[in-house]
Amino acid sequence: MKKGLFISFEGPDGAGKSTQLAMLSDYCRSRGLDITVTREPGGTAISEKIRQIILDPENKEMSAGCEALLYAASRAQLVDEFIRPAVAEGKIVLCDRFVDSSIAYQAYARKLGEGVRTINIFATGGTMPDRTFFLNIDPEKGRERNVDAGKKDRMEQEELSFHRAVYEGYKRIAEMEPERVIVIDADRRAERVFEDIKREFDRLIEEAEQ
C-alpha cells in the first residue's frame, strides 16, 4: 500500500464491534497486511487511566461537560501517540470507537451540541477515519446481548431512552457523511455481518493501492 489507513467501528452497545474488529484483524493478517488495533477510550497508558475514570460506575456525579472533555483528552493522547504515527508508517489502524462516539453520546444523547465537535477537532487536529463501519442494530436488541448487568460500566448502565438517543445520533452522522460512514446491518449472525465489512474493506484497499 502507498499509505496507511485509519478505520473505526461504531455502533450501540451490543452491536458486535469487538467481534467484527477481531474478525477484520484476522483477515488483514491472513493477507499479510501491516495492521495495528486500538480502542477508545484508551489505547495508551495515559488514555487507559482516563478510561477508568470515565467508565467507573461509582462516578455517578460526573457532569456531561466533564465526560465530553475526558473523552476528548483520552482521544488527543491516542491520536498523538498512536494513531497518527502508525498511519504515517503505512500501517492500517483499526479502532473500536472514535470521534463519532462522542458526537452520538455527548452531542446528541447528552444534548451538548456542536461544542463536542469543536473540542474534538482540537483534540485530534482534524484526524478522522478513512472509513467508519457503523454496526446498525436497535439499541434494545443490543442491550439484550449484554445480559450480565453486574459487569456493565457507567455508560452501559444508562437508561434505554439514553441509548435510543445515541442510536439516533449515529443515524444522523451516517446520513451526513455517507462516503465515510458505511452502514452495516448488525442484526445478523457475525459471519454474515463480516461478509459485508470484508467487501467494503477490500474495496478500500484497492483504492489505497492505486
How many domains would you assign to the chain?
1
pLDDT of residue 4: 95
Split at pLDDT 50, 70, 90, the class of 169 is: very high
- Residues 95, 41: contact at Cβ < 8 Å? no
Is pLDDT of 192 > 60?
Answer: yes
pLDDT of residue 28: 97
9-51 residue pLDDT tens: 999 999 999 999 999 999 999 999 999 999 999 999 999 999 9
Structural domain including 32 reads 5-209
Is pLDDT of 166 > 90?
Answer: yes
- Residues 57, 137: contact at Cβ < 8 Å? no
* DSSP string covering 107-175: IIIS--TTHHHHHHHHHHTT---SEEEEEE--HHHHHHH---GGG--TTTTS-HHHHHHHHHHHHHHHH
Q: What is the mean pLDDT of residues 81-101?
A: 97
Mean of pLDDT over the chain? 95
Is pLDDT of 65 > 80?
Answer: yes
Is pLDDT of 1 > 80?
Answer: no
pLDDT of residue 148: 54
- For residues 97 and 8, what is the distance between their CA atoms, to the nearest angstrom? 6
pLDDT of residue 149: 47
112-159 residue pLDDT tens: 999 999 999 999 999 999 999 999 999 999 888 775 545 789 998 899
- Residues 8, 133: contact at Cβ < 8 Å? yes
Q: Three-state SS string across 47-113, please?
A: HHHHHHHHHCCCCCCCCHHHHHHHHHHHHHHHHHHHHHHHHHCCCEEEEECCHHHHHHHHHHHCCCC
- Residues 35, 28: contact at Cβ < 8 Å? yes
pLDDT of residue 3: 81
CATH of the domain at 205: 3.40.50.300
pLDDT of residue 208: 87
pTM of the model: 0.95
